[in-house]
Chain A
Amino acid sequence: MKIRINTGRTVIQGSHVDRKNSPEYFRETSTLHLNPVDMMEIGIDDGERVKATTGGISVVLRVISDETIKRGTGFLPLGPYANALVGGTTHSTGMPDFKGSVAEIEATGEKIPTVGELMQHLGGLPYGR
């Protein structure tokens, strides 16, 4: 199913910006809010995982139901998981399409990478002390 993903600050995400490798930040920024009817169509329950794909790149996310989210859209708190789905085009403005990624969403049993693992996929070396 195609979902247009919106991003933005949440209190939990914002409270842990100086602790981006904490379990709280990891959990908050990798949790996609979806309309419960869309979740039923995808075939997932609260807390289960999906694979979101844009431009051939996928990221695994946890899902929670949220009735304030309109069907066909999702909300993913801003952070490295949301941005893994964003392309580098800025339409000559300098600003990428942070709030308009249309992702293909499907159920998955795969593990969600930590922030360090996600950065490793992009070519980094996790720092873990």
Chain B
Amino acid sequence: MVDKIRHVVCPYCGCLCDDIMIEVTDGKISGVENACTLGAHKFLDDAGNRLKGPIMRTGDEWVDISYEEAIEFAVKVLSEADRPLLYGWSGCATETQAIGAHLAELIGGVVDSTTSVCHGPSILAIQEVGHPGCTLGQVKNRADTIIYWGSNPIEAHPRHLSRYTNYADAYFLHNAFRERRVIVVDVRKTPTAEIATEFVQLEQGGDYHVLSALRAIIRGRGDIIPDMVAGVPKTQLIRVADMCKKAKFGALFFGVGITMTGGKYKNIRNAIEFVDELNRHTKWTISPMRGHSNVYGSNEVFTWITGYPFAVDYSRGIAFYNPGETTAVDILARKEADAALIMASDPGAHFPRICCEHLAKIPTILFDPYPSATTHLCTLQIPSAVNGIDAAGTAYRMDGIPIRTRKFIETGYPTDTELMEKIYDRIRQVKENA
């Protein structure tokens, strides 16, 4: 039997495209329409890829265990740990994230999301100088000039251009595709640079210099700019500054190309102040290109509950936030954590080697439906339902818009929220009886 389900929300990246059509044959995904390559793989590769049940490392072998045994192990490890790290959270629903924040308080742990290794620096910059942002709907309907800085949406957010920028129709532009100009700033000629009206190729780590030069030109102090800034000719900088000033509505999107390079959050601060400078002449906004489907949600939820957006440390009994100290990479690199709960993320593939080595030494409990790189490092892996396939929940789009994902097949796997509720309740009982 074939079912066609419309208006499915793609749980891959921060675009959260909500116009996906899924074909389900005999309870399994057999077709996908409207999704990009990344989203189509997310849906189509699901069948046959999941772990059948929890697996546990005992000595030099992996054994299958029951969900009940897995929960008991997690409760024991987390309730006995002195400095547990609860990390990940960006691929699960806000409902699960909320339990994660409460669990951190209950056990005096640290709760951090993948934010700390993607747009953590962006949040630090926003905390310093604010965020002149807007929703993607405003960009789609109004923006005539787009900048992608250190971001390659054709490969990382493939439908961003067709839904919100270059290829999207706009209410306030007569012929959007012809009227829109796209400026790409990057260290290499990415596929996105290929479609740019203007491609600015800078030297690696030169973002701060180029942003400062553009700010000076817009301030009317182009005379102090040398002929070449971080590999970019002054003539091109003047041309780009002119394009930006002539925009009726501009939108700057930045990626991890500038959050991960030297300067980190200072690059973003400079980018925000560049937009601030442009707003003396015309209308500009700036927004991060968030990666995981619900990484933005983790920042919202942790802020509501703890007061801070990520890297929250409850070891003192109150919420303490100090990125660089309470962030996951730092805690693991200092070998502080004595237990880890990894929710819906893959530090094995995305953390520095020293952090992976420490995860392999301590009890590490991984919640992931699929075998990942962290699978080989963890002590216990518990497969759960996938938010947006066989579980529903709230996720936040990259512009802060909450969207309810849909459950469209039944698999029998427990959801992350159900598993975390059980673990939280049992640890609370353990603490009350202690």
B residues near A11, Cβ cutoff 8 Å: 37-38, 155, 158
* B180 within 8 Å of A (CB atoms): no
Is the CB–CB distance between B46 and A18 below 8 Å? yes
Specify the chain B residue showing the minimal Cβ separation from A4: B204
Chain A, range 93-112, C-beta contacts under 8 Å to B = 93-100
Quick check: is A2 within 8 A (CB to CB) of the other chain? no
Measured in the bound complex, the distance between the Cα atoms of B349 and A122 in whole Å is 12
B 368-404 to A, binary, CB cutoff 8 A, 1 in contact else 0: 0011110111100000000000000000000000000
B206 CB to nearest chain A CB (Å): 12
Q: Which chain B residue shows the least CB distance to A117? A: B376
Interface residues in A2-16 (C-beta closer than 8 Å to B): 4, 6, 8-11, 14-16
A126 at the interface (CB under 8 A from B): yes
Inter-chain CA distance A77–B184, complex, in Å, is 20
Given contacts A9-B152, A80-B349, contact A93 B45 (CB under 8 A): no
CA distance in complex: A87, B329 (Å): 10
| Contact string against A for B residues 314-330, beta-carbon threshold 8 Å, 1 for contact and 0 otherwise | 00000000011101111
Please give, as numbers and ranges, the residues of chain A lying within 8 Å of B204 by CB-CB distance.
4, 6, 73, 99-100
Closest chain B residue to A116 by CB distance? B376
Q: Which of A86, A125, A127 contacts B352 (CB 8 A)?
A: A86
In-complex Cβ contact of B356 among A75, A119, A129 (8 A): A119
A63 at the interface (CB under 8 A from B): no
Contacts of A8 in B (CB 8 A): 152, 155-156, 190, 256-257
Assess A19 versus B116: contact at CB under 8 Å? Given A99-B260, A100-B261. Answer: no
Q: Are B377 and A123 in contact (CB under 8 A)?
A: yes
Minimum C-beta distance from B192 to chain A (A): 11
Interface string of A1-36 (1 = CB under 8 A from B): 000101011110011111111000000010000000
Kindly state whether residue B333 has any CB partner on chain A within 8 Å.
yes
Which one of A29, A68, A89, A119 contacts B188 once the chains associate, using CB atoms below 8 Å?
A68
Tier of interface size on chain B: 35 or more
B87 to chain A, nearest CB (A): 12
Task: Give the residue name and chain of the B residue nearest to A11 (CB).
Answer: B155
Name the B residues within 8 Å of A19 (CB-CB). 45, 49, 370
Specify the chain B residue showing the minimal Cβ separation from A9. Answer: B156
Q: Which residue of A lies closest to B52 (CB)?
A: A129
Task: From B189, B346, B352, B373, give the contact of A87 (CB < 8 A).
Answer: B352
Closest CB in chain A relative to B294 CB, distance in Å = 15
Q: Given the known inter-chain contacts A20-B371, A93-B324, please indicate yes or no for A122 contacting B45, CB distance below 8 A.
A: no
Task: Pick from B41, B116, B346, B353: contact of A84, CB below 8 A.
Answer: B353
Inter-chain CA distance A21–B158, complex, in Å, is: 24
Name the residue on B nearest A74 (C-beta): B188
Q: In the complex, what residues of A have CB within 8 A of residue B342's CB?
A: none
Specify which chain B residues have a CB less than 8 angstroms from the CB of A99 in the assembled complex. Answer: 204, 256-257, 260-261
- Whether B49 and A18, one on each chain, are in contact in the complex, defined by CB atoms closer than 8 angstroms, is yes
A88 touches B156 (CB 8 A): no
Contact present for A15 and B257 (CB under 8 Å) = no
Instruction: Give Cα distance in the complex from A116 to B377, angstroms.
Output: 9
By the criterion CB–CB under 8 Å, are A83 and B349 in contact? yes
- A100 and B257 alpha carbons, distance in the complex (Å): 11
Give the complex CA separation of A14 and B357 in angstroms. 24
| CB of A109, distance to nearest CB on chain B (Å) | 23
In whole angstroms, how far apart are the Cα atoms of A68 and B184 in the complex? 15
In contact, B188 and A94 (Cβ under 8 angstroms): no
Residue B332 interfacial (CB < 8 Å)? yes
B46, B61, B204, B311 pick with most chain A CB within 10 angstroms = B204
CB distance from B42 to the nearest CB of A (A): 7
Q: Could you say which residues of chain A place their CB within 8 Å of the CB of B351?
A: 83, 96
Which chain A positions have C-beta within 8 A of B256?
Answer: 8, 98-99
B57 CB–A CB distance under 8 Å: yes
B229 at the interface (CB under 8 A from A): no
Which residue numbers of B lie inside 8 Å of A, CB to CB?
37-38, 41-42, 45-46, 49, 55, 57, 60-62, 116-117, 120-121, 124, 152, 155-156, 158, 187-190, 203-205, 256-257, 259-262, 264-265, 311, 323-325, 327-330, 332-333, 346, 348-357, 360-361, 370-373, 375-378
A-B contacts besides A92-B325, A127-B62, 6 pairs, CB < 8 Å: A94-B120, A94-B324, A100-B262, A115-B376, A119-B373, A122-B377
Q: Which 7 residue pairs of A and B lie closest in terms of their CB atoms, listed nearest first?
A: A88-B333, A94-B327, A123-B360, A92-B324, A119-B376, A124-B376, A94-B323
Q: List 13 A-B contacts (CB under 8 A).
A: A8-B152, A14-B156, A20-B371, A79-B349, A83-B350, A92-B323, A93-B121, A93-B264, A93-B327, A96-B260, A97-B260, A97-B262, A119-B377
